Structures are given as C-alpha cells and as structure tokens.
A and B are shown apart, each in its own frame.
Chain A
Amino acid sequence: MKYLLQRIAFYLFTAWAAITLNFFIPRMIPGDPVKSLLSRFQGQMSSQAIDSLYVLFGLDKNASIWEQYFDYWKQLFHGDLGLSFTAFPSPVSEVIGSALPWTLALVGITTVISFFLGTGLGVLAGWRRGSWVDGLLPATTFLSSVPYFWLGLLAIFLLAGPNSIFPSGGGYTPGLIPAWDQYFIPSAIQHSLLPALTILISSVSGWILSMRNMMVTVAAEDYITVAHAKGLSEKRVALSYAARNALLPNVSGFALSLGFIVGGTLLVEIVFSYPGLGFLLFRAVTAKDYPLMQGIFLVITISVLVANLIADIAYLLLDPRTRKEG
C-alpha cells in the first residue's frame, strides 16, 4: 500500500510538472503567434473565449507571472482549454473528447496484444536459446528500427487499394454515423485492422528482445537448476519459475516505454488519417492551432500517466515483495 501511495504521489508530481511545462512553453516564444491568430478571428469570438486564450498563452502582460499561473490552474480545473482555431468555434476539450476514444481503442488494444505476444515469444526465444526463434532476432532488430509511420505507408501501398478489404484511411466508411450499431462497428473494426497490424509488427519486437534477454539471465540462476533437479516438468520450470521472475522487469519496462510507444502510434494515425489524437495533433501542427496542440499534449501525458499507474498495480500483483513492505 505504501508503494502504491508513493507511485501515486510521483504521478501527481509528474502531472504537475507537465502542466507547468505546458504553461511555460508558449510564454517562451518570442513574438506571439497566438496574437496574430486572435486578430484574424477578431469579432467572431466572444470576449470570454478571448479571455481564456489570454490566460492560456500569457498574453495579459499586466498580470504577474504568479497571477498568470494561478489563473491558468483555475481555468484547467474548469476543463477550459481554450478555443480551437481549426475547428472554430468548438472548444479544444470538445474536439479532443471526440478523438480520444479512437486513440484509446486502437493504441490500448494493440499495445496490450503486442505486450503479451512479444513476451510469449520472448519466453520461447530465451528458454530455447539456439533454436529457430533465435533466428528471428535479426529480423526483429530490423523491424524495430523501421519508423512506425513508414511501415504504415508500406502497408497502405501493398495491402490497401480499391479492391482490397483494407481501406487506406479514415476511421469508418464515410456517410456512416458513429453509433453502436451493426453498420458502424464492423466498418470501424475493418478500418482499424491495418493500423493495428502496423503498430503490432513494429512494437512487438522490442518486447521479444527484452523478454528474451531477461529469460537468458534468469535461466542461469540457481533456483532454476534446483527446480530442474526436483524433476519438475520442463514446461513448469520454464513458465512458473523462469518466466514468472523474468516478467517483472518487463512489466516495469512496459510502464517506462509507454511514452515511446504512444509517440510512435500517433504517427500511424497520421498515415492512416485515423480520427484519433495523432491525426488531430498533425492537423493542429499544420494549421498552427496552438491551443489544440497544448491541449493534446496534456491529454496524452495524463493518459500515459494513468496507464503507468495501471502497470504499477499489475507489478504490485505480480511481485509479492512490494506488497510485504507495506
């Protein structure tokens, strides 16, 4: 319990750091790009919307930095992230809210599948060193060096097309209305197959490699020898003795590399024009929509923190030592 509380405190601290970073980044820019955008939209915005953008980007030169910081927090607690310029006049929180489920579904499901698949193959490769699975290692090295987005381009080029079952982009067939019905769900699944496959192929190799290396290290431990000497079956030694111990660093590795993975998957969304946060971020960057960019960064960071917390809880369940100390 103590461990969990410590982790929660750390994530709260990190969230605070990310929000503070988000507060300072626009204030360090020389010459306000937001101001020029504001003047372009003059007359179309309510004074309240302008006020909130002033707070977010520190345009109010009369207020001291502390006052600005305080106002910024107050505004965040109201869930006000400003107005989006690209999706004018929708607020940023609304725009992000409509894109978030897509990313959570695509990235969440593929990351979990990739973790379990890669760990399983890694157990095999590490346990049977010198077997055919070792032959996969150079290939996985190559695949993990390929940028996610390029693999996506290749996948579209090779697999998608007018006659293929894989659509080349988008999240669902145009014309359908997002709803939980028999028309929309199959279409959404069909559209997510190719992006999911791309993410899976490029992320699975990292897990294979790290799990293999941990298995190799663990396989040389004395307790494995003892387990063998007791006459336990090969399968039992491999899974309950070696893999269980080798899994721990992989789970904490999962938490740490989540940030990397999310970065990569955002790009897959761009390539496939998938209606998630990555594609939204791309559109925000092209249109210089700063409020939207900042909002997306905050939402991504907080999602990653939550995912990290979940991985920590999993670690707690897997490793009895962390439970005992509390």
Chain B
Amino acid sequence: MTIPTSSIEQVIPEQGAMAQPDATPPGKAKRSRFRFVSSGKALTGIVILGIYILFAIIGPWVAPYAPDARSKDLVSPPSGAHWLGTTHLGQDVLSQLLDGTRTVMVVGLAAGAMATILSVLIGVTAGYLGGGLDESLSALSNVFLVIPALPLVIIVTAAAPGGGAVLVALIIGATSWAWNARVLRAQTLSLRRRDYIEAARATGEKTWRIILFEIMPNLTAIIASGFVGTVIFAVTSEITLAFIGIGADTGWNWGTILFWAQSQQALAQGAWWWFVPAGLAIAFLGTALSLINFGIDEFVSPRLRSAGKTKIKTASGHTVRMRVGFTPVLKSTTATPVLRNTSSKEAAK
C-alpha cells in the first residue's frame, strides 16, 4: 500500500510548473518540457518501467515454457533448464512470471487511466464550477478517501462472480480516484482566480473551452503524478486480490504465483525461488513508478530535490552547513571563503 507521500501543499507550490516557462527564453521552451527526465530519479524510473512494458509485450512469447505446463521436476531449485526453478506441479516459475507481466501491466494501466479520468472529471468540475456542486462532489471524494479501499475492492470483486481482468481493473479504478480528485480540485480552485482565466471569461470563452484549453494544460504535472500513483495502487491491489484467491481467473499474474506458493507450503519447503522473484518484480515496478513520481514532484517543486553537498570545509578548517536562506558568517577574516550556492534552487528563493 502506497501512502500518498506528497501533501496538497507540496504538489501546489506558488512557483509551480506554470511559472517556469516564463523564466526560460521562448527558444528553449520546447526543451524544458522534458526537463524532468533529466533528473536522475525520473530517468531511472522511466528506464525500469520501459523494461517492464517491453516484457509485458513480448513476455508470453519469450517465456521458455507455457505457464501451466507441468513437468517431472517438482519444486526443484533454479537450474539450466528452469532458471527460476519450478512449482509443486513442475511448472516453470520464470515462464509464469513473464506471462503474468502482461496482465499486471494491463490491469494496472487500465485502472490508472480510469481513475485518472474520473478524478479529472470530478476534481476539475468541482473546483471550477464551485457552489453546491463542489460541496457534494467534495463530500463524495472525501467519503471514498476515508472508506478503506482494499476491503471494499475485496468484497465487490468477491461478490461479482466470474470476474475477468477487465472487471478487476474497473473496480479498482472506480474506488481509487478520490485522492487525485481532491488534489486537482484544490489546484483548479487556485487557478480559476488567476488573471488569464478571468481574461478568458471576460472575452466570453465558453466554460468547457476554458477548462479544456486554459486550465487542463496547467494541471498536466499533477494529473501525470496522480496517474502514476494510482497505477502503483492498482498493481498492488490486483496482486493482492490474486494472492488471496479472488479474481484468480484473470490468467497468471504475480499474485497467482504467490497464492500457490503460500498455499502449497513453499515456505516450509524452503522453496525461496517460488515466491522471491514475484515479490521483487512487484517491488521494482513500484520503485520505478515512485521514482517517476518523485521526478514529477521535484520538477514542480524544486525545493524537494535532495541537496547536493551541504557541508563545506573552509580554508580555516571550519565546517559550514549551507541552509536555504542563509549566508554563513565565518570567523576567519583572512581567507575569503568561496561559498558557492549549492544549486540554482536556492537562487530561485
């Protein structure tokens, strides 16, 4: 379960993404759009995610065996024939893992997309139109925020018989939009009082046009980060459902592997190869998505970037710790300490 790590206050700084294009000369505006990729975290995340997407596409074809093909090697450790060992029926764990990647990615992305669409519809409408509609939509999203999502998903999925992957994605998407809707509403509220929106309204632009062409482009970063966050949640929920044995008829996914490992006593038999790879696959996917989200957060709010070197040794041997908004005063008068500002983010302050 991923806890939303950024509060609304951080996602919406005063000098957010919308302030940045003005600072760069017009010629460079195009490049700055992809600048967040240049942060190491985001790039690492994108590369790992790319590998997962690649395996989601080619996984079932490159898998050495069919995921449920049985063989005579029961619960055998990793070997040349079975790189990640076998299960209690002699099925190849690597093949199950590769085959499962597709389901995991498809359900995760579909649920993420659905939740994002819902959150944009509800959040932006509530924020822009205001009034009684805002009150009721906000109450709705607060209710969904407080009700524990996972038990809800479990009872709904368990109640719906013969649920396939699509149904699971729909249910997860329908229960996980609330956080993003809340963030989007807050940001829309602050945007709608800006001068350029007032100007658009004064010139008689239609409401839908203002929302689509004036407000939405300025919400891109928040929508993207919300999407990534929901995909993390969707993937974990989906795997969890498979792990406790509901929605199991969605084909192989990593949760199904863990379900069999748990129910067939993999732990007692010491069969680590059965459950370790699936868990690592989940963890790395989650890490990649979180890293992308940090990249977006830091792009929007530069203060959050990890500081580089904050301790500087001066010529006289004193250690000075740099801090935002501070000019260190040094005792030694002889050496003129060269104190570089650690990076441009402090200059922006």
A interface residue numbers (CB < 8 A to B): 10-11, 13-14, 17-18, 21, 25-26, 28-31, 33, 128-131, 134, 137, 141-142, 144-151, 153-154, 156-157, 168, 203, 206-207, 209-210, 213-214, 216-217, 219-220, 222, 224-225, 228, 249, 252-253, 256-264, 266-267, 270-271, 281-282, 285-286, 288, 290, 293-294, 296-297, 300-301, 304-305, 308
Contacts and interface: CB of A to CB of B under 8 A. Distances in A.
Interface stretch (B16-24, B60-68, B319-327): B319-327
Contact of A14 (B143, B151, B270): B143
User: At the interface, is chain A mostly helix, strand, loop or mixed?
Assistant: helix
B82 interface: no
Given A130-B308, A210-B7, A146 B282 contact: yes
B145 A259 contact: yes
A149 B143 contact: no
A263 B149 contact: yes
B274 to A, nearest CB: 10
Interface in B218-275: 232, 236, 239-240, 243-246, 258, 261-262, 267, 270, 272, 275
A207 B7 CA distance: 12
A25 B159 contact: yes
Q: Interface centre among B158, B243, B246, B290, by most A CB within 10 Å?
A: B158
Interface of B: 1-7, 9-10, 139, 142-143, 145-152, 154-156, 158-161, 179, 232, 236, 239-240, 243-246, 258, 261-262, 267, 270, 272, 275-276, 278-279, 282-287, 289-291, 294, 301, 303-304, 306-311, 321, 323-326, 349
Given A168-B267, A300-B151, A301-B148, A145 B287 contact: yes
B149 A154 contact: no
Contacts of B282: 145-147, 150
B139 A13 contact: yes
User: At the interface, is chain B mostly helix, strand, loop or mixed?
Assistant: helix
Contact of B1 (A148, A222, A281): A148
B303 A297 contact: no
8 contacts: A26-B159, A129-B307, A213-B7, A217-B301, A217-B303, A253-B3, A262-B151, A281-B151
A149 B240 CA distance: 8
